[in-house]
Structure 1
Amino acid sequence: MAGRESLPLRRLKLFQPLNRLTDDQLILLASRAERRTHSPGQKVVERGVRDGMDYFLVAGTVELKAGDGRTSKIEAGGEKALTAVARLQPRMYDVVAVASCDFLVVEQDILNQMLRDAPLIQADLDSMVDETSGGTDEHRLLMEFYAELRSNQVSLPSVPDVAWKVRRTADRENSTAEEVASAITADPSIAAKLVRACNSPLYRGFNDVRNVREAVIRLGTRTTRQLVTVFAMREVFSTKQPFLQKSIDALWKHSREVAALSWVLADRATRIDPDEALLAGLLHDIGAVPVLVHAEHYARLFADANLLDHALGELKSDVGAAILEAWSFPATFVEVARHAEDWQYECRQDLPQLVDVVQVAQLHAMIAAQQNADLPQFEDVPAYRRLGGLELNASRSLQMLTEARARVDEVHRLLAIH
């Protein structure tokens, strides 16, 4: 069913990227959008279709079903409902109403144009454009760049095949070590890395393992799945453009450091699986990769590295969350990508979460890299206070990581396995 009832502005501003629009733009958007309702069991969008519409879930619950049978649910008001549902086109999922649903449906072309016309996201970014280039052409290009990223006109990376296959196999009920090992050995490079990792000080047993099957048995399917994904991520942090590789390499170096610190923090100060924290730390900036790659088309605009840094800061969290959602990662990983540098973010769970560990790891990594000019004090960061409930304070955390430097270095060596 379709209707013309509009939402109040305060409700529209809860959605991303609608929160980037002015009040006047939102009023115009609401007048040109549709409200659609769907009954339980009714298909909302169909996989493979390119319809040019964005569906924002206002009320109800929907189920997303991928081509391989994987499913996930999105509830109105939840973290996954902050952006348009299954917004990549052509659609990667069938979307079916679980309970009665209410959607705000917007034409992407209309939204894209409004984003191009919207004010710049930060006043200092606006000033920087004026100071560095001083023209309306640069302003237009910057808004075009933002709009393309936000409207999914940019190619997001695919999860590496071996990681995808291993995750699917490991997540299957009653999957065996032989089946998981078989999926891994399809990629000899990843297989070799896994065996070497299993024989490293982090995972070594009384005897060295000799093959992938023995490694899977020692590590268990959960750790195996995480490590295979970790090893496979290096191919995502790459580009065929030599002039971009330096930036990608710097991003990989930072991600490795955050991953190593996350592993140690999780191991020493929480009950979170260290290997899960390792992977979350490695992926926290994944959204920067397609932003950097897309910046290739705007070389004149981003000749100023400071301007590119601003664009990365504004866009990488939304893009990263979109990537991990498309890869069907758990909501805790999506939360990390969205809030890794949102220092005032406080998750709702009582116990420390992945996002807390990665945020604190980021603080330490940035301080070590002398990037602490704009960082808050440790005690002012909710994530740090949440870990503080486990007797982790500023001096203790620095001492702990100093004492654990050998472990951090060992994780670095793990990530550097060729």
Structure 2
Amino acid sequence: MVAKITFPRFVIGALNYNEQKVQKSVAECIGAGNVLSEVHKMNFHQKLAVFENLNALNERASTKTIHVSLNFSPTEKLNKTRLMAIAESYMEKIGFGEQPYFVYQHLDAGHPHLHIVSTTIRQDGSRINTHNIGRNQSEKARKEIEQEFGLVPTEQQKKELVIRSINAKKVVYGKHETKRSIANVVNSVINQYNYTSFAQFNAVLKQYNVVADRGETEGRIYKHGGLVYRVLDEAGNKIGVPIKASAINSKPTLVLLEQKFEVNKGKREEPKQLLKKILDEVLQLSPASMQELMGLLAKKNVYTVLRQNEEGRIYGITLVDNQNKAVFNGSEIGKAYSIASIQQHFYKTQPLTKEMEERMQTQSVTHNPAFHQPSQNQPHFDEGKDVQKDNLLQYLITPEITYENVPAQLLKKNRRRKKKDRNL
């Protein structure tokens, strides 16, 4: 069982999140604790009043709401009676056994899980101390409950709860509600993954057709440190109305992300070694091309992003390890995993055929940059040096595929430049 605790600023947000799931038939309020009315007869406002009446007793407390999620292995089949028993035991063990709370079973993920909403304010107006509750009370309760109910241990379950278990499938514009779909993706990614840059954060989001956008460098949003989130179509183009970071319940603003970058920097070594092991296993299979490498990594639940500059040259590789929830640039893992080294790996394992030798001889002159311009669709690996025989061989055997579209703005600039040249 994996337990996660958050402290929303307002109880109405946490309660509304679960109640809207109920309205969409992807969740059910299966019970409550220390509430006099029958839960299935209570409406949203009655449930909200239970908490607001207690919260009003303490005006000084800044943290009054606790929102817990209990996540179980996809292999576990737990009925409502057993889920309620687990919820009651957990709340008792973390010190909330006498507090009112509502228990929701969510049905929109690949694993069974519960959400519990409660208040930190007691009947006498005092506040329950929640300092280090996740590390202390919750961790102790989790271990005891796993043994008591025979649940899959957290260590094993974390390997099972990959990103497909978050509330978001790929966001499809026009098919899903934009704001809620974006929020589902962002809320799950922002706390689950280890990333240390804006680009790495976006590498995770783009798997789900979502992107964090700071706007144009000369624009108002960028200058004021703002951030919006947008839906991407299948071609990677931004579509639909942008959603402000401040409008999402977890407030995933640029300031929060920068704080995450710093915190995550101290937690990189273990996930880096795990990803290195995966890369070594895949490279030992001697993939013959970038496409084959990406396919093999995908089978290991690793998503690959090739970084490309404005001229269309691929200068780096980013790897999203969805199993261990971490993002790394290839060069961060080691020199042997940079884009240049990985490229070298492809053709070192390939025999030099007579046909390749003939092609190399034929193109040895025309490959000179003074006589030859590569195809616009040909991916270019910028090694920062003159083309040698090995690089020429790779050029000859690399399929003519582009991994990312050339930005439209760049194409427009080219056209304007050509027009200007004709006027000279």
Length-normalised TM-score, structure 2: 0.24
Largest Rg, 1 or 2:
2
Q: Which has the higher helix share?
A: 1
Length-normalised TM-score, structure 1: 0.25
